[in-house]
Amino acid sequence: MIPGGITKKYTAMKKLMLCLLGLTILRFSASASHNRTAEITYLQVDAYTIDCSLVTYTNAISTAASRDSLELQWGDGTSTWIHRVNGPDADNNSIPDGEILANNYQRNVYRAQHRYADWGTYTIALFDDNRQQGIVTLNPPNSDHIPMYVETEFVLGPELNHSPQLLQAPVDIAYAGRRFVHTPVAFDPDGDSTSYRLIRPQMMPDQDVPNYSFPNQVNGAPPSALVLDTETGLLVWEVPTWTGVYSIAYEITSHRNGQVRGRLIRDLIIIVQDGEWPLPSLDVAPPPGGIQSVEVGDTVRLELSANVEEFPFNQELVLSTRSGLDDFFQTRPSFDFTRVSDREGRASFTWIVEQEHVRGQPYDLVFRAQDGTELANYLVLRYRVEGIVSAQREPVVPDPIRIFPNPASDWLVVEGARTASYLIWDAGGRIVQRGRLEPGQPIGISGLVAGAYFLRVEGRGSQAFLKNGGVR
């Protein structure tokens, strides 16, 4: 727990979880096995309000798993049933149905704002039954008897404090006998430093799931290194041995000026399959070498190449990148991918460093090479932008932006608008629109699909809004 936290409220939540756990154990046999993994992130809107996103990955073929709403505990003695905001609305109930992914997974994004009465340390939590059946690292063979629990703890105060945004899905593919690599691609919008450690998945506050083994320690498996880079979050499992579904948890901690500002738990699912396909190779020129320093006005140019020696029929190699530079800044890097053949790809990455990129912590540029079987390799390059960083953080704007109409259909008006840049995020944390706000001119949103969004105006703060036809 973060020092100075609200111990009384945290203890009360733990007592509630114990009661819920008892009920869960009594009814597990009648419940669907559906929860595969989950995570909670947030953006601070003003001095007392956060905009929270809960993302779950569930069994796509289970009707019981596809739920329109989930109960989220806010850590202040209150809870809210929050609605799902992503995917199509096939049943026309004004609540989207989630997104179907490969391997019978479904991604569900739930989103809501919450206003706290006072500053302090709070823990947002999801407690839900049951986990996925057949996880070999977790209470085998009855992992579906164990509830899912994830939490995000944070300090709320006059300085903006956003959680790290997790840009890579927590479900990944491995092949038995082949090296496995993964990273969550965590980007902190505040420029706070982040650290990582592997922990056992949780079933309630401060309580590990029972009968757990780390993936490289499963009974009967030969020794195999499982190594985590505590600064970048890059996880390497040298040789997965047995096929099956494995679960492990990340604890990601944010630090500012030597003080812990937040901590979140994210479960990772690793699906180990049979197959002879090797991990794609991934190379970059110039080659990496520690943290590289650049200055405003510099241009970072990288040439990447990837290939596989063996490849399944009619599959294609893909190169991609994520870093936060695409999602949280006006000036974005370019990434041009060329497929040389099914087995070979090349890409050019160009980043023109601007003043808005100056911050104390390095950027982790994550490059991913994925073959058609979804087996992926990662490369992390670190760059620090040198410049003048203000020692005093700008306090939260006491009068946050006000927008109308909300919900809206075609346009938004920002009260007291001044010339400034703006960004609009969707419920999944992706920037879907950016532009220049001018006095007396509304922001056109007719091109957005129905759903929940988040508008941020330079120097003014942020505000959530709904596009008509979205969640109720």
Task: Please write the tens of the pLDDT for every residue from 64-96.
Answer: 778 899 999 999 999 999 999 999 888 888 889
pLDDT at 151: 97
Q: What is the mean pLDDT of the chain?
A: 85
**9: confidence class by pLDDT, cuts 50, 70, 90:** very low
Token code pair at residue 81: 């049933």
pLDDT at 289: 78
Q: Summarize the confidence of residues 202-209 as an average pLDDT.
A: 95
pLDDT at 420: 81
pLDDT at 38: 94
pLDDT at 337: 95
pLDDT at 314: 59
pTM of structure: 0.80
Pairwise CA distance, residues 196 & 186, whole Å: 10
Q: Summarize the confidence of residues 91-115 as an average pLDDT.
A: 89
Angle at Cα 111 formed by Cα 452 and Cα 251, nearest 5°?
135
pLDDT > 60? residue 466: yes
State pLDDT tens for residues 320-348.
999 999 888 878 899 999 999 878 999 99
Pairwise CA distance, residues 247 & 37, whole Å: 9
State pLDDT tens for residues 411-438.
999 887 788 888 887 766 677 888 888 8
Sign of the dihedral through C-alpha 14, 17, 21, 22: positive
Q: Summarize the confidence of residues 35-42 as an average pLDDT.
A: 93
Pairwise CA distance, residues 44 & 114, whole Å: 10
Give percent above pLDDT 70 in the chain. 87
- Pairwise pLDDT comparison (110 vs 439), residue with the higher score: 110
pLDDT at 427: 65
pLDDT at 364: 95
- How do strand 403-404 and strand 411-414 relate by DSSP bridges? antiparallel
Give the E-state strand segments of 68-170 in sequence order: 69-73, 79-83, 99-100, 105-115, 120-128, 148-156, 165-166
By mean pLDDT, which of 151-155, 216-220, 357-361, 399-403 is the weakest?
399-403
Token code pair at residue 383: 């760059």
Contact 106, 60 (CB under 8 A): yes
State pLDDT tens for residues 438-447.
888 899 998 8
Residues counted in the chain: 472
**312: confidence class by pLDDT, cuts 50, 70, 90:** low
Q: Summarize the confidence of residues 443-463 as an average pLDDT.
A: 80
State pLDDT tens for residues 368-384.
999 877 889 999 999 99
pLDDT at 461: 67
pLDDT > 50? residue 471: no
In whole angstroms, how far apart are CA 457 and each of 42, 239, 421, 424, 438? 17, 47, 6, 9, 11
Helices and strands in the chain: count of H runs, count of E runs? 1, 34
Token code pair at residue 359: 């911050």
pLDDT at 13: 53
State pLDDT tens for residues 265-303.
999 999 999 987 788 999 998 887 789 999 999 999 999
Q: Summarize the confidence of residues 192-197 as an average pLDDT.
A: 96
Give the E-state strand segments of 137-192 in sequence order: 148-156, 165-166, 171-175, 180-182, 186-187
Radius of gyration of the CA atoms of the chain, in A: 22
Pairwise CA distance, residues 471 & 89, whole Å: 10
Cis before 442? omega within 30: no
Pairwise CA distance, residues 99 & 106, whole Å: 6
**258: confidence class by pLDDT, cuts 50, 70, 90:** very high
